[in-house]
Amino acid sequence: MSDITLANLTYITREDLSAQLLESDNAPALPSNLAIVDVRDSDHIGGHIRGSTWVPSSELDYKTPELVRQLKDKEVVVFHCVLSQQRGPSAALRYLREKRRLDPESKTESQGEVKEGGEGEKAKEGKGQKVLVLSGGFSEWQEKYGPDKRLTEAWQKDIWEYGS
């Protein structure tokens, strides 16, 4: 059984994430050190955070190892679904566990401290990758930033107007 649990997850607010996106030198593109992973399934319609990567939760079983390799150089990885209550946090846990499995010496940062995958001097060097979950998911994101084309792509107001 893994020692990485829901208690290890850290959340980021829509305001903090949007500030990181807008203050980036790459705006409106994602900062080069950040990845956003959208794990919604068929409910992906109606818009998405600009620059996010869509990996449906139904495909995570076989795509997580590839995702860990693709995102290894990112300092921050943010996961979300519609509400970030189930699929988003589950995807973040799966990612953290797979990252540990593929590289036991890797570090991830959560709850303000570095969690070591293994012991030794290597684990003490530098900062680990931060794996976060977007608080409130895309539902809360689109309430505030849906119409903002700098932050949200393909947003369709009529889909979100009466809830998802």
Domains of the chain: 6-154 (3.40.250.10)
94-115 core/surface letters (b: 16 or more CB in 10 A; e: else): bbbbbbbeeeeebbbbbeeeeb
Digitized pLDDT (tens) for each residue of the chain, 164 residues in all? 678 888 889 999 999 999 999 998 887 788 999 999 999 998 888 899 999 999 999 999 999 999 999 999 999 999 999 999 999 999 999 999 999 998 887 766 553 333 333 333 333 334 689 999 999 999 999 999 999 999 999 888 877 776 54
Residue with tokens 């953290």: 96
Does the annotation mark 81 as catalytic?
Answer: yes
From the candidates 68, 71, 78, 81, which is the catalytic residue?
81
Residue with tokens 């519609």: 82
